[in-house]
Structure 1
Amino acid sequence: MRIGFHTNSLSWQGLKDIDDMASWAIANGLKDMEVGPAIALDEEKFFKIKEEGNIDITTLIYCRNFLDTDELTAKDHQKNLIERIEAAGRLGIEKVVCSTGVTSDAFYGMRYNPENSLEAVVELFKSFLEVAEKNNVKLAIENCPMMGNIAISPYMWELLFERIDSDKLGLAYDPSHMIWQMMDPYDPIKEFGQKIFHVHGKDTEILRSNMNRIGILHNITEETKFYEHQWWRHRLPGLGEVDWRRVAANLEEIGYEGTISIEHEDPVWEGSLDKVQTGILKAKKHIEQYI
């Protein structure tokens, strides 16, 4: 296993040149880059970085609601994902991380039933996988419930993989999302072993004093109030509830040889480029003691 990072956290601080990111990462011992949508798909630059061999780019990521109720928006998201799959194929990038999309009939009142979107997702992914197979690229569905996604639990993964039998379809496994959904983040690694194509290095802290006061349904989403009233928050690996020793041990048991990609969304270590970079390196230091 190797440790890499997701570019979004650096992009959010204004660093958007892939060469500058690569130079910083190489200098700090990171081995892989997962490139988010804020980075221009400059194939010449990507190819040069890969050819030089000092750091790899094994993953592109594009998570959106591909089944948005606005048909033009949905078509645009689908087009952008297909463009990334095709670019990955040309560049020898092995996988693209994405969401599934979700239809409006999965939501009713305050309840959510992702199964209601299953048929639409299966039909949509026939076209995505046709492109992926043609370009020899794997699609790794992240288990994040946000961004339009039904692949949020072992139950839903089982349904999806039963309906879509393709060795190009698997998971981008993020244990942090299991924590705030009150699910076991460890055993599913062994259960879905060979379907885990990618791993996100992110943690979650349960803010129990907030939860005791407001419950789990009160989630303010305005940026300035989000963590004041939220009952959980993402943290760097080692600062939340996930036992990374167990995660690493289970990944070793299934023979995972890919990347643990640090996805920095920790509000304590945001606010400046220096803080974000320090946060990524703190996460690296914590994870690497177990691999």
Structure 2
Amino acid sequence: MRLGLLTACLPGESLDDVAAWAGSHGYRALEVAAWPDLPGRDWEASHLDVESFGAADAARVRDLLAEHDLEISAVAYYENNLHEDEQVREATHEHLRRCIDAAHLLGVGLVGTFVGRDVSRTVAENLRLAEEALPPLVAYAAARGVRLVVENCPMEGWHPDGYPANLAYSPELWGWMGDLGLWLNYDPSHLVWLGIDPLAALEAHVDRVLHVQAKDVEVHPAARDRYGVFGQVLDRQPWVSGWWRYRVPGLGEVDWRRLVDALYQAGYDGVVSVEHEDPVWSGTRERVCQGLTVAERTLAPLIVG
């Protein structure tokens, strides 16, 4: 097992700078963000320009990572593959195919994404939509030696009422995902605030886990008693529940000692990738890197390379 980080937390940095920092601060892998570089989307990172990515680009990236004793665990593009606007949905699929192509050139076997949801349809209708839309993407990836790993984030901020907008949030759906050829990028933080035991969920589905994201969550039960599990309603803000927030590993509710041990017991030998979305350790590059250092100091003692 190796410790990595998702580069999306440093959107203003070059891949060269992120690799240099990570390699000198105890990290051994990068989950490389590859969102399209579009005007006005400065909250998402584009550390790989997959739209124009060729063999020479792949060679340069491989040399860069080797220089810092790093590997790429996955190419990351977490977007809504069932978006209600068909043009947006197709553009998302097209960019995902470019991410798959880049992963193939890099010799990386995983691309991370979401299932998503058309918020104008019922869950049942979305399941049927996914069964039509996603298998061709799975087949495209398989033909290039790549598998799609789906993070189990509810993406409640995509729904106008804060309900799950990524049909991978519940362990009930992970078998259905498997039937579509999708694999799991397991993140325990989301399960905690949903009231699901992350260890029990992992042990029941560890055979579907090809990648792990390490994010923690801080829960305030008194605030939950006020707002309920779906979060604040009056003066609601997207992505703000009012009773929980994400933290870097070690500063929340997840028992990382038991979770990493369960991964070892199951024979998992992949990457545990820190996904830094901690509002306390954010705002500046220095604060983000300090948060990543907290995460490394929490997880590195548990991971035997």
TM-score, normalised relative to structure 1: 0.88
Select the residue among 99, 102, 107 that pairs with 1:84.
Answer: 99
Amino acid at match of 2:78: C
The one-letter code matched in structure 2 to 1:39 is: S
Write the distance in 2 (CA, Å) between the matches of 1:67 and 1:255: 33
Q: CA deviation at 1:216?
A: 2.7
Secondary structure of 1:289's aligned partner: helix
Unaligned residue ranges in structure 1 (runs of 5+) = 108-113
CA–CA distance in 2 between the matches of 1:217 and 1:194? 30
Distance 1:86 1:270, change over 3 A: same
Q: What is the TM-score of this pair, normalised by structure 2?
A: 0.85
Residue identity matched to 1:274: E
1:178-206 Cα distance to aligned partner (Å, 9 max, x none): 01111010022222122101001101111
Q: Which runs of 5+ in 2 are unaligned?
A: 36-44, 159-164
Question: Does structure 1 residue 221 correspond to structure 2 residue 237?
Answer: yes
Query: What pairs up with 1:1-291 in 2 under 5 angstroms?
Result: 1-11=1-11, 14-15=12-13, 17-36=14-33, 37=35, 38-42=45-49, 43=53, 44=57, 45-52=60-67, 54-104=69-119, 106-107=121-122, 114-146=123-155, 148-161=165-178, 163-164=179-180, 166=181, 169-219=182-232, 220-221=236-237, 226=240, 230-291=242-303
Query: Would you say how many aligned residue pairs link Structure 1 and Structure 2?
Result: 274
- The CA deviation at 1:48 is 2.4
The amino acid that maps onto 2:102 is A
CA contact (8 A) 1:141 1:171 kept: yes
- Structure 2 match to 1:110: none
Corresponding residue for residue 111 of structure 1: none
Equivalent position SS for 1:269 = coil
Q: Contact 2:186 / 2:209 at 8 angstroms: preserved in 1?
A: yes
Q: What secondary structure sits across from 2:250 in the alignment?
A: coil
Q: Is the 8 A contact 2:9 2:277 kept in 1?
A: yes
- Residue by residue over 1:202-227, the C-alpha shift from the partner in whole angstroms, topping out at 9 and shown as x without a partner, is 0111112322233233343258xx3x
Distance 2:131 2:223 in 1: 38
Q: Aligned-pair RMSD on alpha carbons? A: 1.8
